[in-house]
Structures are given as structure tokens and as C-alpha cells.
Amino acid sequence: MQVYLDNGATTKLDESVLEEMRPCFDIKYGNASSLHKFGREARSAIDKSRKVIADSINAEPDEIIFTSGGTESNNLALKGIAFANKHRGDHIIISKIEHDCVLNASRWLSKNGFNVTMLDVDKYGIVDPQALKKAITNRTILVSIMHANNEIGTVLPIEEYGSICREKNVLFHTDACQSYTKIPIDVKSMNIDLMTLNAHKIHGPKGVGCLFIRKGIKITPIAHGGGHEFNLRSGTENVPGIVGFAKASALHKKQDIQKMTELRDYLIKRLLKIPETQLNGHPEKRLCNNASISFHFIEGESLLMHLDMQGIAVSTGSACSSHSLEPSHVLLAIGLKHEIAHGTIRFTLSKYTTKQEIDYTISKVNEIVNKLREISPLKKGMKYTKEYKDEHHHSHDEETGHHPVF
């Protein structure tokens, strides 16, 4: 049996999305900047897609800027706002659990004249709104905190963060790549100024995403050329990708969310019956398809490879950092020690996931975990006592704070 449970990394392209994209490759294949019929057809397809995505988040079509995906959108948001607002301030606030592209864009900005503050999170991965309020200064120009974490699935209270930022006259950006279509998003009621979305996490094509930019916000482009996308993102538009993105954004159904939620809870409940395991992230405020489980006394990489040999695809964390031997920065931020973080697996479901696949996965995880623990050097001569737990898991009772990042 082949079981794909790495939908947090990417998803299977929906067949109807492929059908929607197909004419853009061989019939309506013009450059959207061309004035002839082929170009006008491509432009019309982009305009229709822009409206579909804008309507899905209660935005205006000209507030949607198409990009190559989440990484580019996040870079455009952080760097574009930073350089457009240098006259106002030089301070940017992010959280400790942001995606690598936000962390690395922030590192780059810190080397180019900006001050970056990274906020702590609690044991579930949530930034304390009061800590955010305290961190904002008269030099703060942007706050960027993700809507839902890609590794542990926690959904953060971004409406509250947005309200604080609006009150303080600071722009608020959120990375919603993991939450889009899984959780209702209204950019107006949630006080969102900029938001990152992408297609391949919602059964759309890879290589396309967008940045919502609230009307009236000035932003400096990071790619210069022919002035595409309202002069904010030059480059010939990826018409098939944009069309597929819009189609995928319109496909989500409440019953799909309900099905994923039920299978997720079933998976979590069964896996936590394995001794010496723990769930990471918030037990309730979490993505409908995410289960992050730490298995003590074993290496997550070993478990992943053994599952792969049984036809089961999972992840030890974010796909973008899967080649790194370092433990997940997200798991460390919520208080896990290195050895526990290294024993963590992320299971992410999709609307295509079946109960049969989940039952097969549960059975194989049980079997493999038992085998790996038998040969684990971590467990030899060691009992899983309360003292061991205390030693290998940080306390989360301390007040959430903030400190400089770089």
C-alpha cells in the first residue's frame, strides 16, 4: 500500500485543476502582456483568477499580486515593506516559529540596517498578544506572524495580533499558506494588511502563489522588469499556474474539512496509545490535517525511512529544511530538548486520505517504533520516569517574552 501523509510539504494536483489548466498550455497560450487575441485571452484568464482568489478572502482583485509561491511572497512582504518604510522606522517583529523563508529574509534585513525582534511562543506555539503589544515601539514598521504553523499545526490568534497592530499604526503580515481554504479568512475583519498564499498546499500546481496587499499600502518591488502585477512583481505571468491556483482555491468543501479533522483525531488518539509519545502543538486550535508526534528514545529519521520502506510518506518537519541535521527550530521554540525534537514525525493528511490508509499507518508505526526502541541506545538502562520527562522537556510556565534575534 502507498500512503501519502506529507501534505504539509505538498499536495496531489486535483484532476479538475489539471483540466482547468490544460488549455493554457496548448490553446490559450499567449503572453498576457500581448495585445493580440492570444494575449487578451491570457489576460482575461488572469483577471478572472485574480477575482476568484480575492473573493475567497474578502479582498479586492487589485489587492492580489501573483508570485512564484510562498517564499517569494514572504520575501516581497518583508523586504518590500521594510524598504518602503525606512523613513518611518527600522524595526520588524516576527515569531520564533516562522517558516525558514521569513527567518532568512529577516536575517538578511538585519544585515542591511534593520532591527529584528523575535517573539517567544508558549508550549503550544502561540505568541502572547500582550508580549506583541510590549514589543512594538515607535520605530516598528511591520509585524509578521504566521496564521498556522507548518510543523506543529497550531492556529494562532491573528485577528488579535492584527487588531493590536492596527491600534499601534503598524502593518501586519501573516503567512497563511498552511491555513488557506482550511480555515475561513477575511482580511478585513481579521485586520490583515498583507497575507501570503500559495497553490501547491491546496491541491493546486507548484510554482505559483500570491501576496495580498491592502489597498493604499506602499511597497518596494524586489524584482524589476516590465512592470507586471501593478509594477510590484515583474516577469511574464505563469498563466497556467494562476488559473490552476484559482481553481484549487474554489474546490474546498466543509465535508472535506470534517473528514480530515475526524481522521486526524483518530490518528492522534491511536498513536498516543504507544508508550512514551507526545502530541506537539495545540490539542484543539490546530489545522484539520496536522498531527505532530514525538516518539521518545528513537530517531525520527530512522522512523521516517522505515515507514518509507512500507510505502508510507511522512516528514520529520518542514520540507524546506528536511536536508538539515539540525533539530526543528519550531520544536525547540516550544520547549523540546534536542533528543525529543529529533524523534518527531509530522503526519499531514489531505481530502484524499482514507481510514484504511490511517489504520495501515498506525499499525506500521506501532511495529516500527517497537523494533527501533529495542535497539535504541537511548533507552538502554533507562526507564521513562517523571524525572526523565522533566529533564528532557523545558518548563512552559515562564512568562512569554521577546528578545532580539540577530
The CA distance from 287 to 330, in Å, is 16
The CA distance from 43 to 304, in Å, is 44
Burial status of residue 237 (CB atoms within 10 A of its CB: 0-12, 13-18, 19 or more) = buried
Please pick, among 165, 177, 210, 320, the residue that the annotation labels catalytic: 320
Q: Which of 248, 264, 126 is nearest to 197 (CA)?
A: 248
3-state secondary structure of 358: helix
HEC-encoded secondary structure of 83-126: HHCCCCCCEEEEECCCCHHHHHHHHHHHCCCCEEEEECCCCCCC
Is residue 320 annotated as part of the catalytic site, yes or no? yes
Neighbours of 381 (CB within 10 A): 5
Q: Which of 310, 256, 345 is nearest to 9 (CA)?
A: 345
Q: Compute and round to an integer the Cα radius of gyration of the chain.
A: 22
Q: Which residues are catalytic?
A: 320
